[in-house]
Chains A and B, each alone.
Chain A
Amino acid sequence: MTPVLELRGIDKSFGPVQVLHDVAFTAYAGEVTALVGDNGAGKSTLVKCVGGIYPIDSGDYLFEGKPVHVNSPRDAAELGIEIVYQDLALCDNLDIVQNMFLGRERRNGLVLDEDSMEELAQKTLASLSVKTVKSIRQLVSSLSGGQRQTVAIAKAVLWNSKVVILDEPTAALGVAQTAQVLELVRRLADNGLAVVLISHNMNDVFAVADRIAALYLGRMAAQVKAADVTHSQVVELITSGRSGELGLKNGSGVTQ
């Protein structure tokens, strides 16, 4: 099966600091791929490279098997890559519909076509079985953390994205809300999207992920099926870059 998203040999430096070394990463349709790694391992940088916020220095970026150049967030959005950031980036003063359509509003002549946008937003939320929101004309400022996460994720679905990248979607949530969001993440993948889940939480990762990619000091230590590894192996990959046969070999150039 061709991965929807495939990166090969990605290098990225900021001035003299090389943050990503020869990173490979793949994400498949219908699967949740967890991207794990310690603070500073390069998760955010990798995601921003995927999203076109940082240009890559070298390496191959393949989308549905074809090499592409992603130089701006717009390029990524056009391919169908949507990133849901940790800080969510919603506008508090706008309602749910307006946030979901922000930047891609529908118009009727010169004015906004509010009714058709509202209807489509409603359908999208219904298709994701989202029932926690009272009215989709609620201002986002009145929503809970979990509801905000839901809106941000639904936005990605609304745009028929092929790849949805979620940056720590459960970091600020309580138990019940975390369960709801993870359920939503699973549903996205079951609907045929390639989902990339960045998380620190091993329980979350093992609850929904099909594959696990572990970054260690800017290198991809391993990308494995979740069923093939144990909890503690993943922790070892995160903390030392290797676990038994898995992971980076000695002499692989890891400085430090």
Chain B
Amino acid sequence: MTDLASRPAQAPEAGARRRRAIGAQRLSDATILLLLIGMIAAFSVLTPAGTFLSLSNFESVLLTASQLLILSCGTTFLLIAGGLDLSIGAVTVFSAVVVAKVMGALAGTAAQAADFQYPNLAVAVAAAVGGGLAVGLGWGVLNGVLAVRTRIPPFIATLATGGIVLGLASVWTDGQNVQNVPLPFQTGFGLGKLFGVVPWPIVIAAVVTAVSWVLLAKTRFGLHTYAMGANLEAARRAGIDVGRHMVLLYAGMGALCGLVAIIDVGRFGTASITSHSGDGLAAIAAVVIGGTSLFGGRGRISGTIVGALIPAVLQSGFVIMDVQPFWQNVAVGVVLLVAVYVDQVKIRAQTRA
């Protein structure tokens, strides 16, 4: 506290120096942002006026991107810290099954549901939301403990847990989608809008992204995440409880899967067993496109936002242009290769300089 008095005089200089350093790092984010802007510009020109470049399409792109963005935020933290989670698609599915089953079972009897009567809707939604988050968190903690305690590489550990979790979800549901989700949950939440303007999934994704950004860029937790990814031993010697931190990251990832599951059940009115198997790799692709290193230590949320938007923009553009939307997968793959290649070239140039 003694140096409080002298701080005002020094602070502007200090702030400026930090901003310059951060500015240099941001340059590398700009490349991928330019690519996204280029895509949007190209689709705007190539599609009929008022189709791609319209408020309603803007909303639909964000809605498509919202779930991937949430998963990508968690993945950004994990990759920066040197972790990896391939099980997030499976955990999302499992959580969605829990959400749909709990909500369907508690909302009312089958007869009531057939008449769209849900006497216990509030309790059912609360229990389902809590259950979905808790189950996601639980699987996340298991992943974290496996990664930290057993020293099984996270690639294998989460590949295995992903198989187990998805298998259990399929056994539980006989591989069938869970259908009896109360309609009001879908109309009121999944398809509903905050103040009648912004769809809830977009609001949630925006909040998750904002919190992730502050957490990663401005807090001790974020700094420790970066430190662990660069030099685990240094982080440990600095007194950081690296095991606990890693478990927290996996647990947070699991909870985000639960959140995405809630959104998914709300949007589609069903817990789908098959539709999320690619989510883990999609999130990793989005995060890496956004400039986060697969080898840890480097990355930021701003890049992840861009990386998560690219697939949705491509999909929307292709659909409007009447191109087979499967081309989206091809394009994302190409972007991933180019992004990583450009990044590697840049790193090589930097280390030589």
Which residues does A use to contact B, with CB under 8 Å? Answer: 73-74, 77, 85, 87-95, 98, 102-105, 107, 110-112, 114-116, 118-120, 122, 135-139
- Taking a contact as CB atoms under 8 Å apart, the answer to whether B20 and A137 are in contact is yes
Q: From known contacts A111-B214, A137-B20, infer whether A116 and B7 are also in contact, taking CB-CB under 8 Å.
A: yes
In Å, the complex CA distance between A6 and B136 comes to: 52
* Total cross-chain contacts (CB, 8 A): 95
- Taking a contact as CB atoms under 8 Å apart, the answer to whether B219 and A110 are in contact is yes
In Å, the complex CA distance between A70 and B313 comes to: 57
- Taking a contact as CB atoms under 8 Å apart, the answer to whether A135 and B21 are in contact is yes
Complex interface: chain A residues within 8 A of B171 (CB)? none
Complex interface: chain A residues within 8 A of B218 (CB)? 110-112
In the assembled complex, the CB of A52 is this many whole angstroms from the nearest CB of chain B, namely 11
In this complex, the member of B15, B227, B229, B240 whose beta carbon has the largest number of chain A beta carbons within 10 angstroms is B227
Q: From known contacts A105-B220, A116-B7, infer whether A137 and B18 are also in contact, taking CB-CB under 8 Å.
A: yes
- Taking a contact as CB atoms under 8 Å apart, the answer to whether A102 and B17 are in contact is no
Partner of B230, one of A94, A105, A110, A120: A94
In Å, the complex CA distance between A139 and B351 comes to: 12
Interface size classification for chain B: 20 to 34
In the assembled complex, the CB of B35 is this many whole angstroms from the nearest CB of chain A, namely 24
Q: From known contacts A85-B237, A89-B234, A92-B297, infer whether A115 and B7 are also in contact, taking CB-CB under 8 Å.
A: yes
Partner of B14, one of A87, A88, A119: A119
Q: List CB contacts (< 8 Å) of B1-25 with chain A.
A: 3, 6-7, 10-11, 14-15, 17-18, 20-21
What 6 pairs across the A-B complex have the smallest Cβ distances?
A103-B238, A89-B234, A103-B239, A137-B21, A102-B238, A91-B230
- Taking a contact as CB atoms under 8 Å apart, the answer to whether A115 and B15 are in contact is yes
Query: Is B298 among interface residues, defined by CB-CB distance under 8 A?
Result: yes
The residue of chain A having its C-beta at the shortest distance from the C-beta of B1 within the complex is: A116
Complex interface: chain A residues within 8 A of B235 (CB)? 91, 102-103
Complex interface: chain B residues within 8 A of A85 (CB)? 237
In Å, the complex CA distance between A118 and B6 comes to: 13
- Taking a contact as CB atoms under 8 Å apart, the answer to whether B21 and A95 are in contact is yes
Complex interface: chain A residues within 8 A of B174 (CB)? none
The residue of chain B having its C-beta at the shortest distance from the C-beta of A87 within the complex is: B233
Encoded as 1 (CB less than 8 Å from any A CB) or 0, chain B from 215 to 245 comes to 0001110011011011101110111100000
Complex interface: chain B residues within 8 A of A118 (CB)? 14, 17-18
- Taking a contact as CB atoms under 8 Å apart, the answer to whether A73 and B14 are in contact is no
The residue of chain A having its C-beta at the shortest distance from the C-beta of B25 within the complex is: A139
In Å, the complex CA distance between A122 and B18 comes to: 13
23 contacts between A and B (CB under 8 A): A85-B237, A87-B233, A88-B234, A89-B233, A90-B231, A92-B231, A93-B230, A93-B297, A102-B223, A102-B227, A102-B238, A103-B238, A103-B240, A104-B239, A110-B219, A112-B223, A118-B17, A119-B3, A119-B7, A120-B3, A137-B18, A137-B20, A139-B21
- Taking a contact as CB atoms under 8 Å apart, the answer to whether B219 and A111 are in contact is yes
Complex interface: chain B residues within 8 A of A114 (CB)? 14-15, 18
In Å, the complex CA distance between A119 and B298 comes to: 25
In Å, the complex CA distance between A93 and B125 comes to: 44
